[in-house]
């Protein structure tokens, strides 16, 4: 457990992931009925971009920093950028919120959020950040030192009939894709109508195609939608060449907006030749 997201906070992958997360949550809000959110690999929830770890890599420069001064953002991306600006002073970029923060901002009084984090230091930091940022939010629960995959087995189905499971593992382990497939199999068996969103890195595109097909083959899975972003041609397959998000039961509004969003983000986040995206039903 060596992965620390503070080295990568606010990078291109965060922008891509959190824009689509916010769009999915916007559509969950459109119905009055309550929803439940589970974040299986929550991190610490808030990241200091002026801290030693973030400064060491400077990845936010090629991520969120590229969006802040733009005056032509599509509405869906502008809403995400406004959330980031809320945690920063005017004309400053110091703090970058993680997925728990974006989820918490979408909660209504009838909704709830469960956050899991295994890393011993990060899970404590997550609990503290939630207490500081959302002291009155009783519907947010932090499960410290908790395996998020195990939480899928333990907590599904939720009392609410609507909601989303966000799976965003560090991909430190060689069999992480297989672990995700097993977790999705457990999840769909228990809660077939839930939305599942899985973030993944793209190094070798062939490995991603294999992952897509394994998810599609899960019993009970009918609607699978994937969005893949390459920031460069995947020549060196040891590099992070891009990332993607796979949705089971994607919100209708997200699939309708995604091409407009990605047409804008792809050239903006590109780091070399060959930047492109694809959005496909599997």
Catalytic residues: 168
Judge contact between 173 and 179, C-beta under 8 A: yes
Is the torsion defined by CA of 232, 1, 100, 281 positive or negative?
A: positive
Q: How far apart are CA 274 and CA 230, in angstroms?
A: 7
The DSSP-derived string for 82-142 is HHHHHTS-TT---EEE-HHHHHHHT--TT-EEEEEE-SHHHHHHHHHHHHHH-TT-TTEEE
Q: Is the peptide bond before 157 cis (omega within 30 degrees of 0)?
A: yes
Q: What is the dihedral of CA 95, 39, 66, 231, to 10 degrees?
A: 140
Judge contact between 278 and 228, C-beta under 8 A: yes
Strand, helix or coil for residue 206: helix
């Amino acid at each position: 457990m060596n992965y620390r997201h503070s080295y990568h906070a606010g990078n291109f992958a965060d922008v891509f992931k959190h824009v689509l997360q916010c769009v999915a949550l916007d559509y969950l809000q459109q119905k009055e009925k309550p929803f439940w959110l589970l974040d299986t690999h929550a991190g610490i929830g808030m990241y200091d971009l002026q801290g030693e770890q973030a400064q060491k890599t400077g990845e936010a420069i090629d991520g969120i920093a590229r969006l802040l001064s733009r005056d032509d953002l599509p509405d869906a991306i502008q809403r995400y950028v406004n959330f980031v600006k809320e945690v920063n002073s005017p004309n400053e970029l110091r703090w970058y919120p993680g997925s728990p923060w974006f989820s918490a901002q979408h909660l209504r009084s009838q909704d709830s959020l469960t956050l899991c984090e295994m890393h011993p230091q990060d899970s404590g930091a997550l609990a503290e950040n939630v207490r500081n940022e959302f002291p009155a939010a009783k519907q947010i629960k932090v499960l410290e030192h908790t395996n998020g995959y195990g939480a899928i087995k333990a907590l599904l189905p939720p009392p609410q009939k609507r909601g989303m499971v966000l799976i965003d593992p560090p991909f430190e382990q060689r069999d992480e894709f297989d672990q995700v497939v097993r977790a999705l199999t457990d999840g769909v068996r228990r809660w077939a109508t839930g939305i599942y969103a899985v973030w993944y890195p793209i190094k070798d595109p062939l490995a991603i195609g294999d992952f897509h097909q394994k998810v599609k083959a899960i019993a009970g899975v009918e609607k699978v939608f994937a969005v893949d972003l390459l920031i460069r041609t995947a020549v060196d397959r040891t590099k992070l060449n891009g990332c993607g998000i796979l949705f089971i039961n994607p919100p209708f509004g997200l699939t309708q907006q995604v091409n407009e969003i990605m047409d804008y983000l792809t050239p903006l986040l590109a780091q070399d030749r060959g930047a492109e995206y694809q959005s496909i039903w599997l």
